[in-house]
Amino acid sequence: MADANKLATPQFEQLKRARERRLFFCDPRILLTSVCADEEYSSSNLLARGCVMSKSIRLAVLIVFAQSLLCVAQVSSNVGVVNSTENPLQVAILHWYKANRSTQFPVGSEPFGVAFDGANIWVANEGGNSVTKLRANDGTNLGTFAVGTEPFGLAFDGANIWVANGISNTVTKLRASDGATLGTFGVGILPLGVAFDGANIWVTNAQSNTVTKLRASNGATLGTFAAEGAYGVAFDGANIWVTNPGNNTVTKLRASDGKTLGIFAVGITPVAVAFDGENIWTANQNGNSVTKLRASDGAALGTFHVGIEPFSLAFDGANIWVTNGGSNTVTKLRASSVTILGTFTVGNLPAGVAFDGANIWVANQFSNTVSKL
């Protein structure tokens, strides 16, 4: 065969030996053929032909093969992520590289509150008397819907979006699937914060110094409870926490009946509150800090410096995110140790913040945008 004779050259023999050396520790076919000195070298023979080996030779081959697999496993164990400050619950998006990948999307006038409904981001446009719905995966605008005057806070109840209309002294209930208005319900004076407890909606009324509890299914008022200067609100699984900016405290109410369980000191001018599964966090606007309290008994676990005029909080499963309205940034803190993991630039006057399971969304009030980090 002419082609075979052409390959029988010193260069071909050199390539053949190099290939054998390269594949010896990873290809069992080479292991089988390398001990057969009289076998002709060809790819077809490697697959189709064999030779008779003694038990000792076969044993040696198996040992070498096992050692090669062990080496591969050891190498593979070192090529993945071996150290990370990222949230392990975000494994679906693999491993973030160390860059600030903030993207901004236009919304309505003076966006403030932000909420996630499981698929979409909702933004309260305080200056536009509306809310905007964005698809979370790509930021596509899915609609803008009219609500009351100067909408502020938002909450999702599993099927509907609730909006606190600060000047109208009402809350609006929108069907999340299509934005249809399902009802508008009266609350106290200057409603700002909204939270859902699994069955009911809680609304803070800043000028009434109260919190209103509404049945989520039909908007019926179930009670109104005292809370001095009520502003931010959060649910911890059993209790409602309300920030009191005027006296630098938070109030803990039992969700079942609204009974006050305690009032606890925090930083200066607490305006927002969040729950991390174990602890309560407040954003202290005039203290440039956040305070961490143990939810079970309200014990203070520390107050920690962040950016200028922190205004809102969100928990991502491992970290607390804080919007800093006076420095146009957000701060990322590890919830367990309160280590600062990063500070990221966003738009002008960041206000509300929400987590969508993979990304952080921030309403930039003076930019009329939301940032996605």
Q: How confident is the model at residue 53 (pLDDT cuts 50, 70, 90)?
A: very low
Percent of the chain with pLDDT over 90: 72
Q: Is the confidence at residue 66, as pLDDT, over 80? A: no
- pLDDT at residue 266, rounded to an integer: 98
d(CA 298, CA 276): 14
pLDDT recorded at residue 22: 37
**In terms of C-beta distances under 8 Å and separation of at least 24 residues, what long-range contacts does 171-175 make, across chains too?**
171/201, 171/203, 171/214, 171/219, 172/147, 172/148, 173/219, 174/131, 174/145, 174/147
Which own/partner pairs from 29-35 qualify as long-range (CB within 8 Å, at least 24 positions apart)? 31/61, 31/64, 31/65, 32/61, 35/61
pLDDT-derived band at 143 (thresholds 50, 70, 90) equals: very high
pLDDT tens by residue, 94-138: 444 444 456 899 999 999 999 999 999 999 999 999 999 999 999
40 secondary structure, DSSP code? P
Determine if residue 229 is left, alpha or beta; phi over 0 gives left, psi from -120 to 50 gives alpha, anything else beta. left
What pLDDT is stored for residue 221 in this prediction?
A: 98
SS3 label, residue 99 = coil
Q: Are 356 and 121 a contacting pair, CB within 8 Å?
A: yes
Tell me the torsion sign for CA atoms 119, 124, 128, 130. positive
Distance of CA 326 to the CA centre of its chain: 23
The closest of 311, 284, 331 to 152, measured between CA atoms, is: 311
Q: What is the DSSP code string of 241-305?
A: EEEETTTTEEEEEETTT--EEEEEE-SSSEEEEEE-SSEEEEEEGGGTEEEEEETTT--EEEEEE
Task: Determine if the pTM surpasses 0.85.
Answer: no
Domain with CATH 2.130.10.10 in the chain: 88-372
Query: Cα separation of 269 and 224, whole Å?
Result: 23
CA torsion 111-116-120-123 (nearest 10°) is -10
Whether 69 contacts 61, CB under 8 Å: no
Domain 88-372 has CATH 2.130.10.10: yes
Give residue-wise pLDDT tens across range 164-202: 999 999 999 999 999 999 999 999 999 999 999 999 999
Question: Which helix (H) or strand (E) segment is 75 a member of?
Answer: helix 55-76
Residue indicated by tokens 């509404």: 214
In a 10 Å sphere around its CB, with 0-12 CB exposed, 13-18 middle and 19+ buried, how is residue 259 labelled?
A: exposed
Mean per-residue pLDDT, 7-21? 48
Query: CA 348 to CA 65: how far, in whole Å?
Result: 61
Average pLDDT (75-89) is 51
